[in-house]
Structure 1
Amino acid sequence: MRGRIKSFILSVAMTGLAGVVGLFSGAALADNARDWQNLPKDINLAFGYYDTMNVDAPGVNVDADVFLFRYARSFDIDGRISAVQIIQPYTRLSASLEDLPHLGNFENESLGDTQIIFAHGLLGNPALSVSEFQRWKPEPFLTAAMWLTVPDGQYDKHQALNSGANRWAFKPELASGYPVGPVWLELNSWVSFYTDNDEYLGDNTLSQRPQYAAEGHISYTLSPAAWFSLDGTWSGGGETKVNGDLEDNEQNNVIVGTTLGFQLTPQFGGLIAWSDTVQHNPDSPDVDGWTFRLQYVW
C-alpha cells in the first residue's frame, strides 16, 4: 500500500515535468557548437555521450545520467553533403519529492526513445572526398535537418518515471554558420511537433503544443586541435494539456553554457560542455548539467 501511495503522489508531482517528458530520451538533445559544419563524404562517425543533469520542476527534482550512442554516415546528394544519423539513449533516473523527502527516491533505468536524423546541405557544404576536403577552405553554410523520435523506449503507464515518452516527435531544423578568421558564428533554429500520449499516468491523454527554439554559438579556434565556445539557447511554447486541460507550463527558457572541443588524433576527439538555465517560467523546469563526448571517424 505504501508503494502505491508513493507512486500516486509522484504521479501528481510529475505533471510539473509534462512539458519535458521527452527530455531524458534524447528528444531535447541540443546541438553543440560546430556540430553542423562540413565534413568529407562517404565517412562514418561514432559518438559516445555522457550527460549528467538535474531537472528541478514544481514539486519534484530529478537527477539523470543519460548515455547516448550516435552513429552518422555522410554521402553526396547533388554535390552537397548529406548524412543519416541514429541516436540511442540509455537513461538512469532518480526523482524525489521536494515537499515529502521522507518518501525517498523513485528510480528508473532503461532504454530511451531512438532518434533518426536526415541532414542535407542547402548552401555551402560541398560534398568532397577526404583529400579534397583537406585542401578546402571553410565557407558560410546553411543545412536542413529532420529529426524523427520513435516511441520505442521503456514506458509503463502505471509508472510515473519513464525513460520513453510513448509518442512520436518530429523536429525540422535549420543550421547556419559563418567563419570569420579563427571564429565561427553559428545560429540554429527548430520546431518540435508531438503526437498525443494516450497512456499518460494511466489512461489519461497528454498533448503538447509545438515547441520552438533558437540556439547560438560563438566559437574560437585555439589551435588545430582545440576550440572553445560560448553557447546560448532560447526555447518557447510547448505547453501541455492533460485530458484537454492546459497545464499553464508554456516555456520561455534561456540556457547558457560553454564548450571545449579537442582532437587527440585526426580520427579521435571529443568535447566537454556545461549548461545552466538562467531564465524560465515558474511552472517550467530549471535544467543544468554537463556533457562529455568522445567521437571517432573512419
Structure 2
Amino acid sequence: MLSRAAVRALSRKGAVGACGVLGLIHALSATAADVLPGAFTALPVGMSAVQVFQTHVERDKQYVDGHARPIDARLDSDVSMLRYHRLIEVGGYTVDPNIIVPYVELEGKRDLSAFGKESGLGDAVLNAIVWLVNDPKSRTFFGISPYLYVPTGHYEHDQRLNAGENRWKFALQAGYTTALSDKVLFDLTGDVTLFGKNDDFGRARADLEQDEAYQVQSYLRYKLTPAFEAHAGLSHVWGGETKVGGARQGNELRTTKYMLGASYMFGPATQLLAQYGRDISVENGFRESGKFLLRFTQMF
C-alpha cells in the first residue's frame, strides 16, 4: 500500500524532481484501517485464526487539486501480510487481540522509474476488536477497534520509496454489521487516524507532520449459498494534509473507491476471499487503477 499523504508535494515542478526534494514516498497507506466485509462479525471465545493476505496495487496517474499531471506515471506495490487472532473474554465482552506483520515491495516505472525499487518489512500493527454488541442470533454486531502502528519497518531517509514510515500511528475504528434479510448483510465502519512525527524525512532530514485522516467504508454482502458470498463496497477518505519543516503542503486527501469481491468457505474453518478495487475519484495523490487482494483464513 502506498501513502498518498505526502504525494501532492511531488508538486507542479515535475514528479521525479520534486520527489527528490521531499525525499521519499511511504509504503503504507495514509489511512490505517481498511477493512474487508464481515470484519466485525465476532467469532466464539477461545477460537484462534491465522490469515495470510496478498495485495497487488497498480497506480497509473498522479493528481494535484483534482487534476491529472501530464506524466506517464506507474507505481506498483505488493504487500504480503500475516495476521494472528485469538478470541478472549474480558469483563464479559468478547475481545479479539491480533497482530499484523507486513512485507512490502515497491517499484516505480515509466516516468517514475527514477524511484527505483524497495522491499523490506513494513511497520507492525497491534490491533484489537472489542464487541459492545454481539448477537449471533440476529447477526448483529457492533465493535470498537484501536490500531497501533509501530515503526519497525525498514526506512532510509534518502530513499524515495520506503517499506516503513519512521513514525507511530494510531487509528480508532467503529464497525457495525447486521442482517437485512436471510441472504443480505450490511457492514458500515468509520475511523480516524492520528499520526506521530517523522523527524527524519527526506534528504533534508526535515520534520514530517500530518493532520488526522478519516475514512468511511460500507459493504453489502449477498449469500448465494451458505458457503459462497459476494460483496460490493464503497470507501471514502478525507483529511490528512501534511507539513514538511512546518510548511503546509496543501495535499489534503479526498479519495473515493469501490470494491467488488467474493468469499468461499471450504468447510467450517477455512475461507478464501478475493477482492478487486479501483479509485473512482482522487483529489491529491496517485490513483489506484487496480487493487487485487487475496486473503486466506484458517480458524482453529
> What TM-score does the superposition give when structure 1 sets the normalisation length?
0.85
Counting matched residue pairs gives: 274
Which of these residues, 78, 91, 98, is aligned with residue 65 of structure 1? 78
**Aligned-residue offset at 1:11:** 6.9
Q: Which has the higher helix share?
A: 1
Q: One-letter code of the match for 1:57?
A: Q
Deviations 1:17-62 (CA, angstroms, capped at 9, x unpaired): 97x73526x9645100111112111111000000000234356532
Residue of structure 2 equivalent to 1:132: none
Q: Does 1:12 align with 2:25?
A: no
Residue of structure 2 equivalent to 1:141: 141
Deviations 1:118-156 (CA, angstroms, capped at 9, x unpaired): 21001235xxxxxxxxxx524322100100000000001
Residue of structure 2 equivalent to 1:228: 230
| Alpha carbons of structure 1 residues 11 and 192: separation in structure 2 relative to 1, 3 Å | farther
Name the CA distance, whole Å, in 1 between partners of 2:274 and 2:23.
27
Q: One-letter code of the match for 1:211?
A: A
Q: Does 1:91 align with 2:104?
A: yes
Residue of structure 2 equivalent to 1:128: none
Residue aligned with 2:162, SS = coil
Residue aligned with 2:153, SS = coil
Name the CA distance, whole Å, in 1 between partners of 2:179 and 2:244.
45
Name the CA distance, whole Å, in 1 between partners of 2:294 and 2:201.
32
Deviations 1:154-208 (CA, angstroms, capped at 9, x unpaired): 0011212110000000000100012122111111000000011011113111111
CA RMSD of aligned residues (A): 2.2
| Alpha carbons of structure 1 residues 160 and 17: separation in structure 2 relative to 1, 3 Å | closer
Residue of structure 1 equivalent to 2:121: 111
Gaps of 5+ in 2: 1-14, 64-70
| Alpha carbons of structure 1 residues 10 and 164: separation in structure 2 relative to 1, 3 Å | farther
Name the CA distance, whole Å, in 1 between partners of 2:187 and 2:51.
21
| Alpha carbons of structure 1 residues 269 and 11: separation in structure 2 relative to 1, 3 Å | farther
| Alpha carbons of structure 1 residues 21 and 11: separation in structure 2 relative to 1, 3 Å | farther
Q: Does 1:219 align with 2:232?
A: no
Name the CA distance, whole Å, in 1 between partners of 2:20 and 2:196.
19
Residue aligned with 1:70, SS = strand
Contact 1:120–1:144 under 8 Å retained in 2: yes
Residue aligned with 1:156, SS = coil
Q: Does 1:242 align with 2:252?
A: no
Q: One-letter code of the match for 1:148?
A: L
| Alpha carbons of structure 1 residues 96 and 223: separation in structure 2 relative to 1, 3 Å | same
Q: Describe how 1:194-209 pairs up with structure 2 within 5 A.
A: 194-202=195-203, 203-209=205-211
Contact 1:51–1:292 under 8 Å retained in 2: yes
Greater relative contact order (Cα < 8 A, sep 6+): 2
| Alpha carbons of structure 1 residues 82 and 27: separation in structure 2 relative to 1, 3 Å | same
Which of these residues, 258, 262, 265, is aligned with residue 263 of structure 1? 265
Contact 1:13–1:97 under 8 Å retained in 2: no
**Aligned-residue offset at 1:226:** 1.1
Name the CA distance, whole Å, in 2 between partners of 1:258 and 1:46.
23
Contact 2:45–2:89 under 8 Å retained in 1: yes
Gaps of 5+ in 1: 1-8, 126-135
Name the CA distance, whole Å, in 2 between partners of 1:81 and 1:14.
48
Residue aligned with 2:285, SS = coil
Name the CA distance, whole Å, in 2 between partners of 1:28 and 1:209.
13
Contact 1:83–1:120 under 8 Å retained in 2: yes
State percent identity of aligned pairs: 22
Deviations 1:66-115 (CA, angstroms, capped at 9, x unpaired): 100011110112332111010000011101362x76x5x60011000000
Residue of structure 1 equivalent to 2:281: 279
Contact 2:228–2:265 under 8 Å retained in 1: yes
Q: Describe how 1:13-32 pairs up with structure 2 within 5 A.
A: 13=19, 21=26, 23=28, 28=32, 30-32=34-36
Residue of structure 2 equivalent to 1:6: none
